[in-house]
Amino acid sequence: MGLRAEDFSDQSRYRQVLEIPYSELVNFILDYLRRNSAVMIFFWSLCLIFAGLAFFVRINISGYYSLRDIMFHSILGFIVFPLIIIPLHEILHVIPFLLCGARKIRAGMDLKQYIFYVTAHRHVTSARQFNFVAMVPFISVTITLIIMVLFLPGLWKWSMSALLFVHTTMCAGDFAMMNFFYLNRHRKIYTWDDADEKMAYFYEEL
């Protein structure tokens, strides 16, 4: 049987290291996006690579299509498709949560912070499990979009390459959380959320 949220009340075995109200998630994310590590180097490198790919595709379609058509696909790639892909991204978080044994899964949004999230109410997650949950949407969507950029015709290459870049930036919160675990990799950290109170808790095993 896995750990339960109630187990962390035993202060002889676990010590709380952090608690984050959902209303302060953006501050936490920005903090860990700024903290230098292999995780952040990987993330920012991907952002630059995919931005460069989109720029390369855009340059190569110049002169072949009308400006109106290019603008239409620009709107698709930078605005319309990113909005459409949000529910898919969150569903792809649900699948690994289920595989990790979570059952009380909830989705939500905070438009003041421009964030969308999926959480498993009072389900305890280790660093390895959290990384699995965080990476499934990123890897799945990235691979799919790269294939589409390679095989779709010109204008669709442009909108899909734009979406690839935007979706990567949309994963900033997932990478920031993974950076927290990476920077604390010498400690055995567990996390669980109380979705009713909208709080995230992090504990260290002593």
For the chain, the average pLDDT equals: 92
Q: Where are the domains of the chain?
A: 6-205
Rounded-to-integer distance, Cα 23 and Cα 44, Å: 25
Residue 102: per-residue pLDDT: 87
Q: Is 38 exposed, middle or buried (0-12, 13-18, 19+ CB in 10 A)?
A: exposed
Give the up-direction half-sphere exposure of residue 112: CA atoms within 13 A in the CB hemisphere. 5
Residue 66: per-residue pLDDT: 86
* Tens of pLDDT, residues 167-178: 999 999 999 999
When pLDDT is cut at 50, 70 and 90, the band that residue 63 belongs to is confident
Residue 1: per-residue pLDDT: 54
Return phi, psi of residue 52, to 5°. -65, -40
CA-to-CA separations, 109 to 115, 139, 145, 198, in angstroms, rounded: 6, 22, 25, 11
Residue with the two structure tokens 């660093």: 127
Spatial contact of 20 and 176, defined as CB atoms under 8 Å apart: no
